[in-house]
Structure 1
């Protein structure tokens, strides 16, 4: 994802885990491993118009942020589709990583979604 630094105004880039991509409506849901304290997350909060790059394709998007409950529900769905990756992500995020559904549903802050 390309984004603008909220303090410096400089172009920034970050690699993110795409939790869900919905081609039908052009939306993407990504996870913030450090939750709302991540610099890129705070940058996108300050300027939600940004660009997602997938391969050589660039997509102009505007971020909106999921509620903690919606983010938790989305992570639970992701855990069913990608169990090993979801377990590593839960561990990194400080959530229970026993592989159970409860750890995937525990809110850890909001996740941005793009359309």
Structure 2
């Protein structure tokens, strides 16, 4: 695995384009994205105001009764992403997946757990795994070992539903 230049947060037109899915969730059309994306509603670390971002779901764990055990998302632009920094300050948030809304708490995965998760994801979804790694600036050959190494450098967040 080779690390290329890490991507920077988009600005201008690209940022506006990437934020367009938020409007679809506001119009109650989040179901169009299925379970591949979620709307994360979180608090700003300084302002305390509600912020929203649409993120791709890397992993979705379910417990036996069909209730979600957590959604895992990746910080594609690293730890400088506003949503990531906001969750470190205020780990409680809300997600909307499809038409379902759930209160969650952020759990930041360690490097080994991130490596294991990416190795599993890359072998189960090779095309998506390659795309995810390329988007984040990693050159991988498609092997589990390469995906694992890339996963050690990616910051993953598990969003666990708040029970009760």
The answer to whether the superposition gives a TM-score over 0.5 is yes
3-state DSSP class of the match of 1:15? strand
Which structure is higher in helix share? 2
Contact 2:94 2:104 (C-alpha < 8 Å) held by counterparts: yes
Contact 2:114 2:155 (C-alpha < 8 Å) held by counterparts: yes
Equivalences, count: 115
Contact 1:6 1:47 (C-alpha < 8 Å) held by counterparts: yes
- Runs of 4+ deviating beyond 6 Å: none
Decide whether aligned partners of structure 1 residues 34 and 103 sit closer, same or farther in structure 2, where only a CA change above 3 A counts.
farther
Distance in 1 between the 2:78 and 2:111 partners?
A: 11
Instruction: Give the corresponding residue for 2:78.
Output: 35
TM-score of the superposed pair, with normalisation by structure 1:
0.90
Structure number with bigger Rg: 2
TM-score of the superposed pair, with normalisation by structure 2:
0.65
Contact 1:90 1:103 (C-alpha < 8 Å) held by counterparts: no
Distance in 2 between the 1:75 and 1:52 partners?
A: 22
Q: Deviations over 1:64-109 (max 9, x none)?
A: 1110111111011111122111111101112223222233112114
Provide structure 1 residue ranges, at least 5 long, that are not aligned to the other structure.
none
3-state DSSP class of the match of 1:13? strand
Map 1:3-82 onto structure 2 (within 5 A): 3-24=42-63, 26-82=69-125
